């Protein structure tokens, strides 16, 4: 898949300071290794889209901010708040907030389904989108 290749490429080239969090070992925010991998992957996907857009990439700042809010709730162990914040992220994508392109919004929305644990987002949104696509695509 092209998006997977793009994300791996971007992950190798870019680091997002906001996605790096230092936690004192054994402290209240200490987590198991890899617990944030899905969120790091989602942030990297936004960065890839931002890079593709070039100068217009500033439209992605609210999306990165929303994912930073998700991270805060995740660190604090607030699962319900993570769920709400991720669903807000998906609403932003569906509404094409800040004028992001349809293609970028669709790629990020679909990637969200792939990487985000089901407990942290409304999976039915993705399934509805996939079923609409399935029934509106003609086989030809």
pTM reported for the whole predicted model: 0.69
**String of DSSP letters for 80-106:** HHHHHHHHHHHHHHHHTGGG--HHHHH
Domain with 52, as residue range(s), is 2-136
Mean pLDDT by groups of 10 residues along the chain of 140 residues: 48 38 42 78 95 80 96 96 96 95 94 93 70 51
Number of structural domains the chain divides into: 1
- What pLDDT score does 35 carry? 79
- What pLDDT score does 122 carry? 86
CB neighbours (10 Å) of residue 32? 6
DSSP 62: H
Count of CA atoms in the C-beta half-sphere (13 A) of 130: 10
Of 110, 102, 140, nearest to 128 (Cα)? 110
């Amino acid at each position: 898949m092209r998006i997977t290749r793009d994300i791996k490429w971007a992950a190798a080239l870019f680091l997002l300071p906001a996605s790096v969090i230092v936690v004192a070992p054994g402290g209240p925010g200490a987590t198991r290794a890899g617990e944030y991998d899905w969120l790091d992957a989602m942030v990297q996907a936004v960065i890839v889209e931002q890079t593709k857009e070039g100068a217009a990439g500033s439209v992605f700042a609210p999306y990165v901010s929303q994912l930073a809010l998700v991270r805060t709730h995740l660190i604090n162990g607030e699962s319900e708040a993570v769920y709400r914040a991720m669903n807000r992220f998906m609403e932003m994508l569906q509404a094409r907030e800040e004028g992001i392109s349809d293609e970028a919004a669709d790629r990020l929305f679909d990637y969200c389904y792939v990487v985000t644990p089901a407990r942290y987002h409304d999976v039915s949104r993705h399934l509805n989108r996939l079923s609409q696509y399935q029934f509106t695509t003609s086989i030809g």
